[in-house]
Structure 1
């Protein structure tokens, strides 16, 4: 029978967070291949051996950093949107379309404040495309039930048109990631919120005019 791993102590958790925070900054600036783990250790105020003891090797440290990035984004968005309210309360107060908009903008706001996290995402794809499933996609799949549930509620309330919920959720998240990555690649890291806001407005409101009778015979 396998023994359960011992729970991590508060001190160790803080040490890990410091290592990951500094790893995010160094990996984003130097790139995976050019990063010296010793520099990360120095910035975190620990020994190089401590980094390896917590994360195994440089590759595992990078992948842990990628996971750390998406978890931070999720925590930020939840705090920004939820504000100690329940989901039913938020839906009743905002309606589903506005709630979806707030979720997307909260995510964009996080990435605009921390563009290094997008750089980590891009590097992960470049360095480990043959060996791992991208962390942000894995996180998205593990947490898709929440967005799917909101979409279904919107359909049930008549606020969203009947559609395949999973496809609709994928369209929204694809739009978000596309805006974020394209914005960074185009050197517009300070305009990610604006970019996502324009895209989500187009998605929710549509491009096709609702009344096209004047264009028909």
Structure 2
């Protein structure tokens, strides 16, 4: 099939991805299989809306399902959807950085967001707690050195010392789990920072 013949389908896919809520759900599903209820809880999107978005994504072969008892679990399709999402994520980060650089001449670094070099120094110095907030399955496949795994959904069950900095990370720079984790821990007056590049950024820098 020539590239011209695929344009209508490409337009359909682009239209499907042109929705922030669907991108959030795809981001969460890239971290592993989840139910509608878990996706709703982690995304902050109402259950009914979450279900509608998932059905739309399923119709375009971006997600698939399986039944486990009374629950229906969603996961990314076996096709190159993860690669597509990663490419979109990389371009979004690149585009934002380029646009900011044109306006200010510098690349933005948000407060409480750590770069690779900053995290390296903190790991070497010690005295902090590095937390991987991804799923247990993803953690087992690979994680940052010295990191412990506390999935985002389990953070509320843990207590953290006041005299140590907690550093959280997840899959990549646009991963919402680490953003939500920072907000959650800040509300509990924990000294917390986010390693924004995440696991993919750590690997990409060949640390």
- Looking at secondary structure, tell me which structure has more strand per residue: 2
TM band (smaller chain): 0.3 to 0.5
Scaled by the length of structure 1, the TM-score of the pair is 0.33
TM-score normalized with structure 2 length: 0.34
| More RCO (CA 8 Å, sep 6+) | 1
Bigger radius of gyration among the two: 1
Q: Could you say which structure has the higher helix fraction?
A: 1
